[in-house]
Structure 1
Amino acid sequence: MKPVLFINRNMPEEMVAPLREVYEVDMWPSASGAVPREVLLEKAASAHALWTMISDQIDEEVLDASPNLKIITNMAVGYNNIDVKAAQERGVIVTNTPDVLTETTADLAFALLMATARNLMGAEHALRDGKWTSWEPLGFTGMDVYGATLGIIGMGRIGEAVLRRAKGFDMNVLYHNRNRKSEMEDMYGCRYAVLPDLLAQSDFVLILVPFSEETRGMIGKEQLEQMKKTGILINVARGGIVDEEALFEALQKKRIHAAGLDVFETEPVPLDSPLLTLPNVTVLPHIGSASLPTRLAMMKLNQQALLAWARDEEPNHRVW
């Protein structure tokens, strides 16, 4: 008998068809709605393989309910939605989708930075709502990007891709990272900085660190107070890295100028979130990797990992 694969979203048939040859495929019918928790537990109980999304919490409860489970492939670079330690203890392989989304996510990070700096969303809403009545000397003014100082927290692949874009805007780039990258400093003229110095000197602070217990709440009240009053915070990493209550207070009291957020502590973000009430916040629905070619490439990596396991081959991009 074929092993059972449960796919947690409705995927294009071109991606699923090869899997049907080696798996008994069970696929959630919705491409947009998350699989309910009780359904996930039910489906996982008979599954040998799971194809999961970043919003699917694969914790000990799910793993304990899945005695046959051998592989989880996650459609994301990050995998904080999966209890990897618990999976490893149970001999369950976990894979992700690195590399293919680097440039696309860097594009989005820089686009969000620019949109937030220049208040593009506020200007567009004013136009659509009929509130643009004349040219004003200080109407819809924002902050300059060209020649500004960018502080990047987390200098991995995406950080380096953003750095390349920033140099095209003649930005002065600081970075904070677990390890210094001397060759990169020599190549691009960027400078390493301890976190307080980066926050104090940067016009834009871009968060790109992975989410972990070490980085949870990394940017809180103390860190926000170290930023310039004209500073802009951009987060395209994970929501839990920023203390949202502290961020709301800093923005409301204008301790910092603005924020651009593609990620939130709770996703989808509740419509009653205080952050959504502020005019100096630009928000996006976690679309860092959302270009069609990139999302298809991510799916392909997941497909390849699942096919490899079913054929007794070593899956690529194992987390452990």
Structure 2
Amino acid sequence: MSRPRIFVTRRWPAAAEAVLAERFDVTLNEGDIPLSLPQIQQALNSYDAVLPTVSDKLPAGVFEGDVRARILGNFGVGYNHIDVAAAKARGIAVTNTPGVLTDCTADLAMLLLLSVARRGGEGERQLRAREWHGWSPTHMVGTKVAGKMVGIIGFGRIGKAFAKRCHFGFGMDVVFHNRSPVDPTEAAGYGARQLPTVDDVLAASDFVSLHCPGGAENRHLMNAARLATMKPGAFLINTARGDVVDEEALIAALRKGVIRGAGLDVYEAEPAVSEALRTMENVMLLPHLGSATEETRTAMGMKVVDNVTAFFEGREPPDRVG
């Protein structure tokens, strides 16, 4: 009996690719170049499974026609780049990779928070440009982190891990908003307390970190009005999804001093990043590195392998979404 044919849209860590190739008839995107919509649709029409990443777009239109694929094993926890309802309507299962990237994404959010507070990116750029002329009491003064209030939007796995780092690691007070109530005793275990609304969190916080899902429900959650609710000296951190922030509104808020700065790992039209953001000194920019450690990316690949293996063995994939 022939093995299921699998198409992988981007290259994975070698260890995960090797296990996938042991179990299935695998075709890799050898050039590791992002695929066009027609190429993704061709893969859906030619393979039993397609394994996309968060950088691949799969709108409803790609599921039209003679689709052969029966499962999409998404390499990533977020899946707002996939029209899950359209896939489900065609009988296509969709899975993701929750849990394994929690710590590394929370670490990166902490990196961004510390970098914007202490002007780390700005300082490194100055040093590399040979523009530093020595220590002085007023040089590149930033913001203290300990004792400050951090607000978290979305209190899932990553939000909780970030809260623990902020409170127990850096002595910060933590408040959060979540779409469903969190038991106060559980929240206290992360050094956090829940507030009723997003606006309550924004108004109280010196730093606001986004850990909510992307997609239609949260598109432009942080718009001009919400940014204006933040403290004038506050900072916005986003390691969630680019579409959660209205990027033009953020740029305007940064230019006008509505907020003090931002740390971003994701962007509304990535990999495109606006010239305005790239030229602002009060913004720390990273190229979507949230899960980018060898350990995590390998674990993500193995999650996909486990989901696809379960599916083709007739078992329920452990991480089915939708």
TM-score with structure 1 setting the length: 0.95
Determine if contact 1:6/1:25 at 8 Å carries over to the other structure: yes
Cα offset for 1:291?
1.0
Determine the structure 2 residue equivalent to 1:207. 210
> Residue 154 of structure 2 corresponds to which residue in structure 1?
154
Q: Which residue of 2 aligns with 1:313?
A: 315
Deviation at 1:136, TM superposition (A): 2.3
Cα offset, 1:22, TM superposition: 4.6
Shift of the 170–284 alpha-carbon distance from structure 1 to 2, 3 Å rule, reads same
CA change 1:223–1:128 in 2 (3 A) is same
Pair 1:127 & 2:127 matched: yes
Aligned to 2:177: 176
How far apart, in 2, do the equivalents of 1:15 and 1:186 lie? 37
For residues 269 and 38 of structure 2, the distance between their equivalents in structure 1, rounded to whole angstroms, comes to: 19
My pick for the range that moved more, 101-110 or 53-62, is: 53-62
- 2:3 aligned residue: 2
Relative to structure 1, is the Cα distance of residues 91 and 204 closer, same or farther in structure 2, using a 3 angstrom cutoff? same
State the shift of 1:189 in Å.
4.5
What residue is the counterpart of 2:279 in the other structure? Answer: 277
Q: CA deviation at 1:185?
A: 3.3
**Using a 3 Å threshold, how does the CA distance of structure 1 residues 151 and 47 change in structure 2: closer, same or farther?**
same
Q: Which amino acid aligns with 1:26?
A: T
* 2:251 counterpart of 1:248: yes
Residue of structure 1 in register with 2:39 after alignment = 39
Which residue does the alignment assign to 2:239? 236
Report deviation, 1:312.
Answer: 2.4
Aligned length: 318
Unaligned runs of 5+ in 1: none
SS of structure 2 residue aligned to 1:214: helix
Aligned-partner SS, 2:218: coil
Identity %: 40
Partner of 2:26: 25
Output the CA distance in 1 between the equivalents of 2:23 and 2:192.
49
Residue in structure 1 matched with residue 82 of structure 2 by the alignment: 82
Query: What is the letter of the counterpart of residue 228 of structure 2?
Result: E
Which amino acid is the alignment partner of residue 286 of structure 2? L
Over 3 Å counting, the alpha-carbon distance change for 1:124 and 1:13 in structure 2 is: closer
Is the 8 Å Cα contact of residues 163 and 191 (structure 2) preserved in structure 1? no
CA deviations 1:256-308 (Å, max 9, x no partner) are 110000010011024x4321121111101111111110010000011111222
Q: Deviating runs (4+, > 4 A) in structure 1?
A: none
* Preserved contact between residue 230 and residue 256 of structure 1 (Cα < 8 Å): yes
Please state how far the C-alpha of 1:17 moved relative to its aligned partner: 3.6
Partner of residue 289 from structure 2, selected from 287, 290, 294? 287
1:187 matched to 2:209? The reply is no
- Ranges in structure 2 where 5+ consecutive residues have no aligned partner: none
Question: Please, which moves more after superposition, 18-27 or 73-82?
Answer: 18-27
RMSD, matched Cα: 1.6
